[in-house]
Amino acid sequence: MNIIKSSPPQNSLITSNFSPVHYSDTYKMEFKCAKSLRVDDLVYAFFDSSPKWIEKLFAFRNAIVKMLGLKVSELNDRKHQRELFKVEKGNGLGLFKVFDKNENEALLGEDDKHLDFRILFHLINKGDNHYVFTLTTPVRFHNAFGRFYFTIIKPFHQFIVPTMMNSIIKKVTTYKIKLA
């Protein structure tokens, strides 16, 4: 299960829902799973699979950016919120609102005063329980602070995304989440 840098899926929900894009990266991996999966399962695993060090890093980020008036994700009763969360357009959990969804894609993200970001979960079943999972993160800057902020977090982002993808796949392939 190697994660590789890739290009965004053709004609994805990003194309019709998020323009202009000032930065974007895409990571892709292929894997096998004994269970039939839907894109919703990857989103649920995303919320259920953060390594502790990533949670601590986000808590640190939230403490700093809250002082700057940016949006933060409140972790109060997150487990209960996750149990109630459905991957449907308009729903959200923390900083991740569902902007759009179709059979193979879920587009989540948030808009803030400095930048807007999206995360596109894209899942293709190639048959015989062989899947291709693509995760694309487009970002749109609103001002110089947004560019500066992203310059600071970009190295973390580029390390965290593949780590999260591995955690997500481990979660869905070992049935350690409540699948949709």
pLDDT for position 83:
74
Please give the residue that has the higher pLDDT: either 18 or 72: 18
pLDDT of the residue at 133 = 98
- 9: which DSSP letter? P
Q: Name the token pair of 102.
A: 């179709």
Q: Is the peptide bond before 9 cis (omega within 30 degrees of 0)?
A: no
- Looking at residues 85-111, what average pLDDT do you find? 93
Q: Given a cut of 90, is residue 69 above it in pLDDT?
A: no
SS3 161: helix
Kindly write down the DSSP assignment for every residue of 87-130, as one continuous string: --TT-EETTEEEEEE-SSEEEEEEE-SSEEEEEEEEEEE-STTE
Number of H helices, E strands in the chain: 5, 7
Which tops the pLDDT comparison, 51 or 52? 52
CB distance 17 to 99 below 8 Å: yes
Beta bridge partners of 133: 29, 123
Domains and CATH numbers, the chain: 15-173 (3.30.530)
Tokens of 158: 């580029």
Classify residue 143 by its DSSP letter.
Answer: S
3-state secondary structure of 49: coil
- pTM for the model stands at 0.83
